[in-house]
């Protein structure tokens, strides 16, 4: 008798799960299915699981493929189970290729091609929509997006648009998506939400088009390069009851949220200064950051990160703002320092694409300071420091994977209404304030 074993969360049970179990069963005579506990999913960084463990087990049972259902609740359990049940074959979908090769020592490891595209007809949850997401753009961000999306329940990345069809098709094949297209209308007609990962100057135009088509939009930063454009997009989203979110990943990271609430609760007294830096010497000088004379440069690229803590902590009512940049011959800023004066507080932002500085966030107050070392934008640890250093306090919050899963999980929750109203993590007015700074900066730099 050949025994096959497989594992999964099986949340919002869909045909991808069904097909996998069916083919797993066909590989042998006896199928063991491990269903993950909430605790285990939390530990391995899977977010937004909706169905209870009991319901998920029930859905697996109803397929009729499982001869035995077990619960998976800890790392390392797969090795134990394979030995305990004398499994001959371990099976998982191709989104996990390579990740479980270590089990070859105990049995045969098989990765079955994952189901491309989910029609959602099998989803039993009323009022809960499976988010069928389309990627607009097939560049660097989009590539990082796919592995992270596997950690967000209730989301299926269906297809990709790129104006260059060859690129779109290569991306589709690499990531096993259902379709690729160079026709934006086609993408819009096949999905119910989009992630816009195009060069900055196209964000507004494509976000607008997508909202007009009735799609929810997760737009890469900066959402817009003009205040009026950002306002228009949020007005449009509101009028159409759609979710519009600016994907500044730090805003959704648990560690950063914790940092903000501690700073705002007065642990360091009155906040007097916020200094945020994000610099990188980008080795390849042929990328759009260097070559796009109108919209490239360090501030449009990294300014959304440095503006985030400044606007979150001190607001958008600064009394004055000034920019100082060093630019390449084509006009793009390789380094920019921005000074904000709020009267009762000040702030600086430093961004660089060809100048390197310490990438820290430092918040100074009348009672102490908070230091978040580089890379503060992937907030994990920070230290609250006082005059009496024996009172210093270290905080640590896990930042999982590439961090994009947090914004994705929030996006899915917002669409499904499990997150009420406007998101406090990055509000409409904060996004608009950031677009206004971008507008002022570009007007001055491109003078
Ligand atoms: N799957 C698939 N096609 C999809 C979606 C999922 O073939 N479109 C497969 C996955 O590859 C996995 C199974 O269905 O083999 C269950 O998927 P999930 O519920 O998302 O669970 P997962 O996070 O993949 O669990 O210990 C848990 C396992 O390591 C992985």
Contact 31, 67 (CB under 8 A): yes
- Class of the 254-398 domain? alpha beta
Q: What is the pLDDT of residue 315?
A: 97
Question: How many A from CA of 116 to the centre of ligand 1?
Answer: 12
Residue 117 pLDDT level (bands cut at 50, 70, 90): confident
Give percent of the chain with pLDDT exceeding 90: 90
pLDDT band at 141 (very low <50, low <70, confident <90, very high): confident
Contact 194, 221 (CB under 8 A): no
Q: Which CATH superfamily is domain 3-112 in?
A: HUPs (3.40.50.620)
pLDDT given for residue 123 in this prediction: 62
Confidence band of 39 (pLDDT split at 50, 70, 90): very high
122 has a pLDDT exceeding 70? no
Upstream peptide bond of 329 is cis (omega within 30 degrees of 0): no
> Could you tell me which CATH number the domain at 131-247 has?
3.40.50.720
pLDDT band at 126 (very low <50, low <70, confident <90, very high): low
Which atom belonging to ligand 1 lies closest to the Cα atom of 96? 11
Task: Answer yes or no: is pLDDT of 257 > 80.
Answer: yes
Distance 8 CA to ligand 1 centre (A): 5
> What CA–CA distance (Å, rounded) separates 51 from 98?
28
pLDDT digits (tens, 9 = 90+) for 367-400: 999 999 999 999 999 999 999 999 999 999 999 9
Residue of 22, 53, 79, 95 to mutate, ligand 1, most atoms within 8 A of C-beta: 95
In tens, the pLDDT along 329-342 reads: 999 999 999 999 99
Structure tokens at 53: 């463990």
pLDDT given for residue 289 in this prediction? 94
Contacts for 65 with CB less than 8 Å, ≥ 6 apart: 21, 22, 24, 25, 31, 33
Pocket lining: 8 vs ligand 1, CB cutoff 6 Å: yes
Q: Quick check: 175 pLDDT over 80?
A: yes
Indicate if 254-398 has the same CATH topology as 3-112: no
Q: Going by CA atoms, what residue is nearest to atom 9 of ligand 1?
A: 93
Closest alpha carbon to 251 in 312, 301, 314, 338:
312
Q: Average of pLDDT values for 299-306?
A: 98
What is the CA(94)–ligand 1 centre distance, in A? 9
Considering only CA atoms, which of 149, 234, 125 is closest in space to residue 409?
149
Q: Check pocket membership of 73 for ligand 1, CB cut-off 6 A.
A: no
Residues 233-257: what's their mean pLDDT? 96
Is residue 420 scored above 60 in pLDDT?
Answer: no
Question: Does the predicted TM-score (pTM) go above 0.85?
Answer: yes
User: Residue range 178-205: average pLDDT?
Assistant: 97
pLDDT band for position 351 (cuts 50, 70, 90): very high
Of residues 124 and 291, the one with the higher pLDDT is 291
- CA of 289 relative to ligand 1 center, distance in Å: 37
Q: What is the pLDDT of residue 389?
A: 96
Residue 243 confidence (pLDDT) above 70: yes
Distance 199 CA to ligand 1 centre (A): 32
Q: What is the mean pLDDT of residues 415-444?
A: 89
| Domain spans, the chain | 3-112, 131-247, 254-398
Nearest CA to ligand 1 atom 30: 8
Check if 56 has its Cβ closer than 6 Å to any atom of ligand 1: no
In this prediction, what percent of the chain has a pLDDT beyond 70? 97
Q: What is the mean pLDDT of the chain?
A: 95
Our answer on whether the CB atom of 114 is closer than 6 Å to any ligand 1 atom is yes
Convert the pLDDT of each residue in 68-82 to its tens digit.
Answer: 999 999 999 999 999
Q: Among the atoms of ligand 1, which is closest to the Cα of residue 92?
A: 15
Pocket test for ligand 1, best of 9, 41, 123 (most atoms within 8 A of CB): 9
With a 6 Å cutoff on the Cβ, whether 59 touches ligand 1 is no
Q: Is the C-beta atom of 115 inside 6 A of ligand 1?
A: yes
Ligand 1 proximity of 118 Cβ (cutoff 6 Å): yes
Torsion on CA atoms 433, 439, 441, 447, rounded to nearest 10:
-160
Higher pLDDT, 123 or 260: 260
């Amino acid at each position: 008798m050949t025994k096959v074993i497989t594992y999964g969360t099986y949340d919002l049970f869909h045909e991808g799960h069904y097909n996998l179990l069916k083919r797993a069963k066909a590989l042998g005579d006896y199928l063991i299915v491990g269903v993950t506990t909430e605790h285990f999913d939390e530990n391995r960084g899977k977010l937004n699981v909706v169905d209870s463990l009991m319901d998920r087990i029930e859905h697996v049972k109803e397929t009729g493929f499982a001869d035995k259902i077990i619960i998976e609740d800890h790392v390392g359990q797969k090795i134990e189970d394979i030995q305990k049940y004398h499994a001959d074959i371990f099976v998982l979908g191709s989104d996990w290729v390579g990740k479980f090769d270590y089990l070859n020592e105990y049995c045969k490891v098989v990765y079955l091609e994952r189901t491309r595209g989910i029609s959602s007809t099998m989803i039993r949850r009323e009022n809960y929509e499976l988010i069928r997401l389309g990627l607009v753009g097939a560049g660097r961000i989009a590539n990082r997006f796919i592995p992270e999306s596997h950690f967000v329940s209730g989301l299926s990345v269906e297809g990709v648009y790129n104006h260059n069809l060859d690129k779109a098709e290569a991306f589709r094949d690499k990531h096993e998506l259902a379709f690729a297209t160079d026709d934006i209308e086609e993408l819009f007609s096949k999905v119910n939400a989009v992630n816009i990962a195009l060069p900055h100057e196209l964000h507004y135009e494509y976000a607008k088009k997508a909202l007009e088509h009735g799609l929810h939009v997760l737009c890469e930063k900066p959402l817009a390069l003009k205040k009026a454009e950002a306002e228009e997009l949020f007005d449009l989203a509101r009028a159409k009851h759609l979710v519009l979110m600016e994907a500044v990943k730090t805003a959704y990271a648990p560690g950063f949220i914790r940092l903000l609430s501690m700073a705002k609760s007065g642990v360091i007294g009155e906040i007097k200064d916020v200094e945020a830096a994000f610099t990188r010497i980008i080795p390849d000088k042929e990328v759009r950051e260097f070559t796009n004379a109108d919209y490239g440069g360090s501030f449009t690229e990294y300014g959304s990160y440095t503006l985030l803590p400044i606007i979150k902590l001190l607001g958008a009512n600064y009394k004055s703002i000034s920019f100082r940049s060093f630019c390449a011959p084509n006009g793009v800023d390789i380094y920019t320092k921005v000074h904000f004066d709020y009267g009762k507080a000040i702030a600086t932002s430093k961004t660089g694409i060809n100048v390197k500085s310490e990438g820290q966030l430092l918040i100074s107050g009348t009672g102490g300071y908070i230091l978040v070392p580089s890379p503060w934008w992937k907030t994990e640890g920070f230290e609250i420091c006082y005059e009496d250093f024996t009172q210093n306090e270290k905080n640590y919050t896990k930042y999982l994977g590439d961090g994009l899963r947090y914004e994705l999980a929030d996006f899915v929750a917002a669409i499904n209404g499990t997150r009420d109203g406007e998101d406090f993590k990055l509000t409409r007015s904060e996004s608009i304030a950031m677009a206004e700074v971008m507008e002022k900066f570009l007007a001055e730099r491109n003078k």
